[in-house]
């Protein structure tokens, strides 16, 4: 099976061998940005702009429960390999960890990004959560404690290049260089 999500507020379950849609799931009230299968393939989690995560029983095609707690649309979801937790990232710049047994957030949101969280991953080998954001950073979090471990950020092409006093640049060129990391003490 394969799952796809859509701006039309639906999730489609596909038989990828035959290329046939075998079920359409409809209960979200806004765009659906993310889907993830549980490790056993029996539950599907979906995250939506409606600020909810829905858990679906795949064999029955029914919504089991709805998780509430984010203050923005959910853009990424991943199950831990043991299927006991879901990790979600969203527009409010936070990452949340959900306990599958209680169907509740298991701790306060992980904060540190300045823009929405576009992607979350889980490293079983290191017990780390990785979250990538529109702020151009990747934050690493200890799964058990929720402690921030590290922030990764790629250098921009003109990082720390000093263009103060440089002549011949248009205003647009100067702004573009600053967006790419240049420093301009004149503005």
pLDDT digits (tens, 9 = 90+) for 110-125: 999 999 999 999 999 9
* Residues 98, 186 within the same domain: no
Handedness of CA 76, 63, 7, 105 (dihedral sign): negative
The total of structural domains in the chain comes to 2
Domain that holds residue 186: 155-187
pTM assigned to the model: 0.83
CA 171 – CA 35 distance, rounded (Å): 43
Three-state SS for 71-127 is: CCCEEEEEECCCCCEEEEEECCCCEEEEECCCCEECCCCECCCCCCEEEEEEECCCC
* Residues 139, 160 within the same domain: no
* Residues 43, 83 within the same domain: yes
* Residues 150, 182 within the same domain: no
* Residues 58, 46 within the same domain: yes
* Residues 21, 106 within the same domain: yes
CA dihedral 154, 92, 75, 114 (to 10 degrees): -10
Confidence of residue 106 (pLDDT cuts 50, 70, 90): confident
* Residues 68, 137 within the same domain: yes
* Residues 137, 70 within the same domain: yes
* Residues 182, 119 within the same domain: no
């Amino acid at each position: 099976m394969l799952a796809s999500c859509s701006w039309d507020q639906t999730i489609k379950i596909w038989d990828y061998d035959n290329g046939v849609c075998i079920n359409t799931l409809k209960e979200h009230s806004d765009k659906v940005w993310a889907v993830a299968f549980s490790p056993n393939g029996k539950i599907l989690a979906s995250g939506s702009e409606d600020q909810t995560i829905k858990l679906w029983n795949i064999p029955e095609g029914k919504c089991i429960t709805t998780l509430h707690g984010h203050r923005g649309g959910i853009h990424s979801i991943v199950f831990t390999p043991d299927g006991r937790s879901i990790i979600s990232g969203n527009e409010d710049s936070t990452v949340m960890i959900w306990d599958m047994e209680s169907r509740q957030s298991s701790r306060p949101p992980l904060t540190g990004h300045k823009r929405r969280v576009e992607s979350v991953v889980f490293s079983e080998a290191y017990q780390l959560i990785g979250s990538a954001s529109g702020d151009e950073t990747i934050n690493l979090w200890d799964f058990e404690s929720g402690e921030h471990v590290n922030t990764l950020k790629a250098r921009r092409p003109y990082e720390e290049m000093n263009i103060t006093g440089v002549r011949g640049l248009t205003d647009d060129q100067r702004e573009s260089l600053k967006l790419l990391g240049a420093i301009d003490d004149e503005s």
